[in-house]
Structure 1
């Protein structure tokens, strides 16, 4: 699907929430990346989306220079401009950025680590979730330059509790179940998923599994595959595989993007969460179960 076009999926008629997952390829410049996402956010808002999810590393793509040189707190240029855009469009925006964290000495080198943060701004909310599970896998060590977060984060949107996770977090089901136990009915997941053998299949399996075993709507917005189909399936580092997805609490896929830039606009009915959990009370049963 060509850049700038959107794919719509309507799951249930009647009252609901309209959300957007914007799939893009960001670059090294915060200013250029804000310019890239601004018209896409406005377009999604014009189509009625009130919750807009952008990828991990929206402010600065991985592999495009040191992260600490442009890392900012949530009163910096990137967060401030997105806050203004959220106010202008009447939306809540979730987007990946980086914040200064700590300084470590490693093998005689001074390392300025950052937090891998999902900014949440709009609707009276302006805060961040720091990615808890760093991507230390497949010959990559995110923890060398990124400090893990420690706290789960939820926020309210249109009366619905929304949990937040980032990319590699999706491999850890307990985080999603705990968000559900704390009231999350929707979980948003900014992502920059690395391509490679079997990685797309893993991504598709994990997004469906996390929605199903937590009984939530899951909305994951990823970085587009930089080379689209030309090199699909080849190792890419954590620079994106596309395939942003919205999954229902019963594990069915509502909408899924391809490899390239694309926007998903999806109507969901949060009331569906209670119906699914009543039929399949996995979270409640687990909470009441004792294992030795």
Structure 2
């Protein structure tokens, strides 16, 4: 199965971000990708304003716009967006929380996975503005079962093992990773570890680093570190982007999953 990763830098405007995503979708599809993965927060980057003001349901402009493009091209797309969730009180303030959703859309599918594990770490509290999801999601592309996780989920091996037990051979991971000391090292380690835990292909699409390589290694919020990657079921890194916007297209050998599970039956 040929997959594509579109590593981009989204901004504050949902309409402009949709146009950016559709352009990337067309470029990856033109190279033969059947499953094309975008970063977390593709619809609106973190740290660009209140998420609830542009949050949309799956029948909104962003999701339907990407669906129309994916249907036209005959591909399946996965992209991070935000949906309205609930209203909570925090420190005397009323906050309209959202779901951090990975949209899955294409000719035969249109659904969302709501991120299970909110990023409450490194002095950041995603749960203040984002409501956690409640269930796992898998979908089918050309007869292959694909699971979904988002960013901070990658620190929780049981989720990836549960997706594999549900039939997933490939797990896509839209991400907007934080930069800073040891963060790239952790990202590389975790993506390889989750591939080994689940004996799946890991297809992780990250936001490019704002400011590019010139800002690399400096502490930042969860706005992207680049380094989107494809990791095989034995933990080998088959492709990796840098800090800048980039498109990766790679043909996954699904027989490697069968071989890995026969020789390393960790599930």
**TM-score band, normalised by the shorter chain?**
over 0.9
- Aligned-residue RMSD, C-alpha: 0.6
**Distance of 2:189 and 2:92 partners within structure 1:** 41
- Name the SS for the 2:53 alignment partner: coil
Which range moved further: 157-166 or 229-238? 229-238
Are residues 1:37 and 2:21 paired? yes
Q: Give runs of aligned pairs for residues 1-292 of structure 1, distance below 5 A.
A: 17-283=1-267
Show structure 1 runs of 4+ deviating over 3 A.
Answer: none
Report which structure shows greater RCO (CA 8 Å, sep ≥6).
1
TM-score, L = length of structure 2: 0.99
Aligned residues: 267
**Distance of 1:221 and 1:150 partners within structure 2:** 22
Shift in Å, 1:271? 2.0
Shift in Å, 1:270? 1.4
Residue deviations 1:202-221 (CA, integer Å, cap 9, x gap):
00000011001110000000
Question: Quick check: 1:101–1:113 contact (8 Å CA) kept in 2?
Answer: yes
TM-score, L = length of structure 1: 0.91
Give unmatched runs, 5+ long, in structure 2: none
Give unmatched runs, 5+ long, in structure 1: 1-16, 284-292
Residue deviations 1:143-200 (CA, integer Å, cap 9, x gap):
0000000100000111001000000000000000010111110000000000010000
**Distance of 1:199 and 1:150 partners within structure 2:** 27
Q: Which has the larger radius of gyration?
A: 1
Shift in Å, 1:86? 0.5
